[in-house]
Amino acid sequence: MEISTLATYHCLAFVWYFFVAYSITHVKTEERPSEVFLYGGQWKYLTVLNLVLQAVFYGVSFLADVLRLIKKLRCAKCIISSRDLLFSVLAFPVSTFVCISFWTLYIYNRELVYPKSLDGVIPLWLNHAMHTAVLPFALLEILALPHRYPAKKKGLILLGFVAFMYISWVLWIYSVTGEWVYPLFALFNPPGLAAFFAGSLAIIVAFYNFGEFLNRMIWGQSKFS
């Protein structure tokens, strides 16, 4: 894909994610059900954090494209490294995890992740923007250009650290409020919850490996030499 086309795409994707993140963080207070958006606000939900992550990623990608267009190649090289690290370790695996885990649990029992009371608060288009469109965007990014993945050990350590930080945030919210971020967590005893978190981490690691596999299958090794 031409650099100018990439720049246009990344700019539009950045604007889209900024708009979606803005929309969810500006849901009218009086319309919120009492059990939602209390301690920690929207920032306790992985879905909302992912929107911010995607906006940052596409902003960095657009900056890299602009630097390449104006021939600032030395600066572009550094930004491209940051772009690839963001995509490989976080943007692709987190988006894939958010989409697949959300809709799997929603079909099984929506009250565990997205209570029906939210239907009157969050429009249908916004629900799909947060939970559905993130996966096609991630796949399109792999098709659009090759990304250099870090060494496997480094990538998994970074991914594991971010996952640990989010789990710590969820547990901290529970310790303060006595309420779980997602009703699903209330179904587990402590060992069961630990097993659930471990299983979720294993799944997101699998998505990381899947992204790396797709990247190499589509672009091969030559693009990274």
pLDDT score, position 36? 52
Query: Cα 40–131–23 angle (5° rounding)?
Result: 60
Summary count for the chain: helices (H), strands (E): 8, 0
Rounded to an integer, what distance in angstroms lies between the CA atom of residue 137 and that of residue 74? Answer: 28
In this prediction, residue 225 carries a pLDDT of 40
| 173-189 pLDDT tens trace | 999 888 899 989 999 99
- Domain segments of the chain as ranges: 3-27+38-219
DSSP 8-class letter at 88: I
Give pLDDT < 70 ranges for the chain: 28-38, 221-225
Query: What pLDDT shows up at residue 40?
Result: 74
